[in-house]
Amino acid sequence: MEILIETFGWLGSALLILAYLLNSFNYLAAQSLWYQAMNFAGGGLLIINTIFLGAYPSSALNIVWVIIAGVNMLQASRKEKGANALEIVKS
């Protein structure tokens, strides 16, 4: 079980770093669904890891991180659906 929790922590960290790297070098927009999904998943994995380890301040930070990413994912999803609807109307 400990190895699984440790793996979650490393994967979560890697996802957050990868999202930041891709955004910093303009490969992924901060408002994109993919960027927010990577933040959501990475933060979620870190929540599991930090709660298991008893690192509650880090858990709280990641809970807020996941909430922000979740709200942004909903907004990005709505924008993509709206853009697709406009494309259909234009056709």
Identity of the residue numbered 51: I
Q: Rounded CA gap, 36 and 50, in Å?
A: 21
* pTM, rounded to two decimals: 0.84
- Enter the tokens of residue 36: 């927010």
Cα-Cα-Cα-Cα dihedral of 73, 74, 75, 78, to 10°?
120
Q: Rounded CA gap, 12 and 10, in Å?
A: 5
Cβ atoms of residues 29 and 35 within 8 Å: yes
Give per-residue pLDDT as tens, 50-88.
999 999 999 999 999 999 999 999 998 888 776 654 455
**Reported confidence tier of residue 91, pLDDT bands at 50, 70, 90:** low
- Residue 90 in this model has a pLDDT that exceeds 80: no
Domain count across the chain: 1
Give per-residue pLDDT as tens, 17-32.
999 999 999 999 998 9
What is the domain extent for residue 33? 2-90
